[in-house]
Amino acid sequence: MKTQANHVRAGNVIELNNKIYLITKHEIVIPGKGNAVIHFEMKDVVTGTKNVDRFRTNVSLEVLRLDQQPCSFLYKEGDRYVVMNTETYDQMEVPEEAFGDKAAFLQEGMEISVKTYEDKILSTEIPNQVTLEVIETEPVIKGQTVTSSYKPATCDNGIRVMVPPFIDTGTRIVVKTEDSTYVERAKD
What global pTM score does this model have?
Answer: 0.71
Residue 113, strand partner residues: 70, 125
Q: Contact 53/28 with Cβ under 8 angstroms?
A: no
CA distances (Å), 139 to each of 5, 134, 145, 164, 182, in order?
49, 12, 12, 11, 18
Q: Are residues 58 and 75 located together in one domain of the fold? A: no
Q: Are residues 31 and 80 located together in one domain of the fold? A: no
Query: What is the domain count for the chain?
Result: 3
Its domain, for residue 163, covers: 129-185
Contacts of 78 (CB under 8 A, 6+ apart): none
Q: Are residues 75 and 115 located together in one domain of the fold? A: yes
Per-residue confidence at 172, pLDDT binned at 50, 70, 90?
A: very high
Alpha carbons 94 and 50: distance in angstroms, whole number: 19
Model confidence pLDDT, tens digit, residues 128-165? 999 999 999 887 666 655 556 888 999 998 899 999 88
Residue 43's domain is classified under what CATH number?
2.30.30.30
Q: Are residues 139 and 177 located together in one domain of the fold? A: yes
Q: Are residues 116 and 165 located together in one domain of the fold? A: no
Alpha carbons 62 and 96: distance in angstroms, whole number: 27
Model confidence pLDDT, tens digit, residues 15-71? 888 888 888 888 888 888 888 888 988 888 878 788 898 888 888 888 888 888 999
pLDDT at position 147, please?
58
Residue 175's domain is classified under what CATH number?
2.40.50.140
Q: Are residues 143 and 175 located together in one domain of the fold? A: yes
Q: Are residues 114 and 148 located together in one domain of the fold? A: no
